[in-house]
Copies of this chain bind each other. A is one copy, B any other.
């Protein structure tokens, strides 16, 4: 007499649906055709899957004109996916295109609504090393020194603490096998970096690109070199 996990798991067990869900892990809205393209299926098929996920409340729709935009319904759903990524096997790389995309995603990507990948982990580690945040069990705490740091960056820490969600949690990065910053603070940092144009979203993927301004600023602020982009990174 337990809740029925299998109903939920069945929805993630199909590779088309899991591809769609991982695309939605960027936290934003996506039209059906785009999701169909990502999963390499016809629009009918994507529609069929999205309908199933709507019924069990994994995703939500917004109608705008003739488009229907889908998104993840909650961070609870994102957490399920996140926890599976920790132990999921890495995919086989079949083409040069696959290999490039893999490098890009390992280098920097969004994980639901915060930054992940090599860059995400590096930033998190730098924040710890510089005494801006401290890691307590599976959460982060902002030091007094850290309050100034975020203030200068244009992020109001208190505002993030008031939000009805985890303030600064650890999220296990599947590519780096280390923790990166998540929660309200992680989200605020991503948003601010996008706003400052240090990073930009790459179309059709969850991959993130570091701009030339970004490279300069990251080096200045954190004192390390990000390299020239995903292709210059050694694959691990």
Contacts and interface: CB of A to CB of B under 8 A. Distances in A.
Contacts of A1: 91, 93, 98, 101-102, 105
A8 interface: yes
Nearest to A183: B137
Interface in A100-144: 101-102, 105, 136-139
A9 B7 contact: no
A13 B22 contact: no
Nearest to A2: B22
A168 interface: yes
A86 interface: yes
B137 A4 contact: no
Interface in A1-35: 1-15, 17-19, 21-22
Nearest to A94: B1
Interface in A195-214: none
Interface in A31-52: none
A205 to B, nearest CB: 8
Interface stretch (A59-67, A75-83, A145-153, A220-228): A75-83
A70 interface: no
Given A10-B13, A57-B87, A81 B5 contact: yes
A186 to B, nearest CB: 12
A131 to B, nearest CB: 19
A156 B61 CA distance: 50
A4 B84 CA distance: 9
Contacts of A158: none
Interface in A147-199: 166-169, 174, 183
A87 B93 CA distance: 33
Contacts of A4: 15, 18, 88-91
17 contacts: A1-B102, A1-B105, A2-B19, A2-B105, A3-B85, A3-B89, A4-B90, A5-B12, A7-B88, A9-B10, A13-B13, A57-B87, A76-B87, A80-B83, A136-B139, A137-B169, A138-B166
